[in-house]
Amino acid sequence: MNGKTEKWVAVIDPYSSGNVLPQKAREKGMKVVRIQSGTDSELHPLDIADIRISANFEDRKIVFTGDIQSTVHELEKFDLMAVIPGYEGVVDTAETIASELSLPTNSRELIQARIDKYEMHNAVGKSGLAIPRQNVFADKKAACRWIENESPGFPLIVKPAQSAGTEGVSLCHDLLELDVAFAKTLGKTNILKKQNSRLLVQEYIRGTEFVVDAISVHGRHFITDVWQYRKNVVNNNNIIYDYAELLDPSCPSLMPLIEYQNGVLDAVGIRYGASHGEVFRTNDGRIVIGEVGARLPGADLPLALERATGIDIAGLNIDSYINPQKAIIELEQLFMSRNKPKHCRVVFPVSEKNGIIKRVRTDLLHEMHSLVHFVLPQAGDLVSKTVDLVTAPGHLVLVHENMDTLKKDYEHFRKIESRLFIL
């Protein structure tokens, strides 16, 4: 059948939480073309698992090998409504292709401000919003000179300019730890399949970190959910996730965060689709950006949100492109009729060892009354000692009407997690 006789949506690399996008598009009457960046042999095992989920809802597949114009030519055969990124690593590719096809997308001029944290923070700072003190470096010597002459002093955060989660993020207390951070991160290929050619050196923010997610339509932003992170520092300088807890976004104390994030979205040129923002409220009362991604949040936060509130941000993400008026009506109604959410936490397991899993003790989870979903590695998989979000062995979604029940389940999990994987 000719692709011009039906409406299509293209999804590039439907990985992580993006693995539901093909299904959501199908549910809205769309045909789906999956664009895969790279050949099958280049796929990460986690990517393959996500493709198995999304493959049931795709109608065509195109392999993208880096040639934008060739891919645009292929997509011109379809009556295409949108090109949507499935995860952080292909935001720039999706937006560039959408722009070439004159489809709804974000500001092309500010694309670097959405994928490069240094450019992102600069764009936010130029808009008049507060940002952390920072600079970016391709070598350690230049970083040391900046630290000596201009930086706010130790401790400092060192992280790739383009990365995801806490991969490659180090908390450095002195020049020796800075040296270690540069040695283990600079020049390496990260989870986004990009080389860490530059490292961001940034003041360490003392305060509370929040997630502020949104759907944008025609440049109008609707904040859909707010979470509070709890993270821990291990081995003195590695930052790992403990959990994310859903908050009630109608709470007056969160309004300054929401207003700040609206400004961030304008500053980096986000006009359509989902965005995932991380924002700090510092101990001295400032609000500053962590980062923002022009895509759905990961770690099954969309699923958790839907279980706790009924809000389907993956579906709203699709609608913002293919049916913007419908999206606006639904989002406006959401704000007028928003109910208090159920209590919800997304919990990140911690592994203390490296090894091959022989068995997963899922029976230890049976007593958790609030557990509604989990993703864990399976027998035969390699588990690594947890040093960042990438090495966290999965996640669990806890949802319940009673906060005491949820807290009890969380505490139970932390007690049994050392016995969860038999190596």
User: Per residue in 166-192, pLDDT tens?
Assistant: 788 999 999 999 999 999 999 999 888
Query: What digits encode the pLDDT tens for the residues 346-364?
Result: 999 999 999 999 999 999 9
**How many independent structural domains does the chain possess?**
4
In terms of domains, do 254 and 162 share one?
no
Q: At what angle do helices 255-267 and 117-126 cross, to 10 degrees?
A: 110
For residue 139, give both structure tokens.
């070598």
Q: Please check the confidence at residue 51 and state whether its pLDDT lies above 80.
A: no
Q: Is residue 124 part of a domain?
A: no
Q: What is the pTM of this model?
A: 0.93
Mean pLDDT of the chain: 93
The most confident of the ranges 54-58, 219-223, 378-382 is 219-223
Q: Which pLDDT belongs to residue 1?
A: 45
The CATH number assigned to the domain holding 329 equals 3.30.470.20
Q: Are residues 85 and 149 in the same domain?
A: no
Domain that holds residue 384: 345-422
Last residue of a domain, one of 277, 306, 333: 333
Per-residue pLDDT at 36: 94
What pLDDT does 79 receive? Answer: 97
290 and 393 belong to one structural domain: no
Q: Is residue 112 part of a domain?
A: no
Instruction: Calculate mean pLDDT across residues 41-63.
Output: 77
pLDDT digits (tens, 9 = 90+) for 230-241: 999 886 678 899
Last-in-domain residue among 333, 355, 382: 333
| 123 located within any domain | no
User: Which residue did the predictor score with more confidence, 401 or 46?
Assistant: 401
Using H for helix, E for strand and C for coil, what is the string for the chain?
A: CCHHHCEEEEEECCCHHHHHHHHHHHHCCCEEEEEEECCHHHCCHHHHHHHHHHHHHCCEEEEECCCHHHHHHHHCCCEEEEEEECCHHHHHHHHHHHHHCCCCCCCHHHHHHHHCHHHHHHHHHHCCCCCCCEEEECCHHHHHHHHHHCCCCCCEEEEECCCCCCCCCEEECCHHHHHHHHHHHCCCECCCCCECCCEEEEECCCEEEEEEEEEEECCEEEEEEEEEEEEEEECCCEEEEEEEEEECCCCHHHHHHHHHHHHHHHHCCCCCEEEEEEEEEECCCCEEEEEEECCCCCCCHHHHHHHHHCCCHHHHHHHHHHCHHHHHHHHHHHHHCCCCCCEEEEECCCCCCCEECCEECHHHHCCCCCEEEEECCCCCCEECCCCCCCCCCCEEEEEECCHHHHHHHHHHHHHHHHHCEEC
pLDDT in tens, 297-339: 999 999 999 999 999 999 999 999 999 999 999 999 988 777 7
Domain shared by 222 and 318, yes or no: yes
Instruction: For residue 19, give the CATH number of its domain.
Output: 3.40.50.20
Across the range 266-272, mean pLDDT stands at 99
pLDDT digits (tens, 9 = 90+) for 233-265: 886 678 899 999 999 988 999 999 999 999 999
Together in a domain, 325 and 289: yes
pLDDT > 70 in the chain, percent: 96
Q: How far is CA 86 from CA 51, 114, 383, in A?
A: 11, 15, 25
The answer to whether residues 239 and 301 belong to one domain is yes
Query: In this model, does residue 44 exceed pLDDT 70?
Result: no
Quote the CA–CA distance of 331 and 315 in Å, as a whole number.
Answer: 12
Alpha-carbon distance values, 114 to 128, 170, 221, 294 (Å)? 17, 22, 16, 7
The CATH number for 141's domain is 3.30.1490.20
397 falls within a domain = yes
Tell me: do 278 and 365 sit in the same domain.
no
